[in-house]
Structure 1
């Protein structure tokens, strides 16, 4: 598999996501908005403000819009169940965020030079899946006395038979623990990564792959910082079905811990903003 140098998220947005790893760019000065306060020209009507009656004296229209927004949120979440995964990318030493930023920068440079015809989301996704395959290929399987193998086995990420445990989050102890699922053999895991990488080469299969929130603006980043990324794939065609099935098989696997990433399917849980809107409606 060739290592390639990633939603078509702009490079500027990605810079914001990974700002804690790289120097921040100076902010552009705000434009002078004094023109907004100039008097209207003769014959030009001033924009009218909505009266209270337009929105309803009791804010009933706003309430209806909020309820409609929540209904649409729930409908979108139902669709995401069949096409979306969340990648929890953990910061800290050895994480993959700097590589993702470099991939974005390289993609923009190559596109300007006319050397690429793939989307950023597709390019980024394939690049991410090259990294665990690359790191796993460097592991000395069978050498149980090797330090890294010992660490992986001690953390119950890797079994004594060189299989990757499936892990689940323990909310009480705030840690990952082995799940009640047969481990994924290392050879099968390598073939699975190769399959995902190859399927993602098909056009229009990756609909979105982008960060859901920016990195914190602190100069230091601890291992507790996690940046979620959303992956949306196509719902149509055999290739889309095969990709979804492969990602499901990889979900929760300890293999992705090599790049400090945890994958889970999307859920019906509302976003924090939608939850806040729902809470206001019940008051």
Structure 2
């Protein structure tokens, strides 16, 4: 399998300076920059896997402090799932104080160490998601830190995860940038292709946005019935509390299209469900 090297993007320059690796921000200070400080916990573990399992057990039982201690031990050994879990905890303020910079640096360590891991590797889902999260941070930057907005870099992050790992979240985020012309040229057709790839994986936001484009003929040939099919699939899969916009988009399209389009959409939907 051919490795999709980040060298193609000109990004390999070392995360923390000097050595080979994934340079997440060329403007990052080489000294004095904030860094993830990982204390070595008191309890001993047989291995980083043992520490990770202990951390997850503690997390699931509600002992978030114990989880962090165990996960930090595993993270010192470069254990990707532990790095990812800590990144998520700091990004969400889950059992720890919310800290986007710490989250960014945990995810950065995964991307730096495992950028060339193949899509079938044990760490693939953690690596892929790390690129997606890092891309999100580069869209807006992290206020009062060295992580500045860099939408072109965000597009590269999403592009890598979308193409090499086939990550549906990355494909959706990349499509949004193409639709808005952020970080590069505006290209609705390319956006639609990425949305279609993610939609076929059952990614509800991609199904909804693709459906919206097709119903309205926005940058692509109008296919109202097929668009309504995608919107119906998205509505059925969406969480109304978190993704109310999908329900609203579906209802608006349903009222907009003709009766014939609605009937054809049902046929498309039945065919899709039988695949």
Shared fold by TM > 0.5?
no
* Higher relative strand content: 1
TM-score norm. by structure 1 comes to 0.23
Q: Comparing both chains, which one has the higher relative contact order based on Cα–Cα distances under 8 Å and sequence gaps of 6 or more?
A: 1
TM-score norm. by structure 2 comes to 0.23
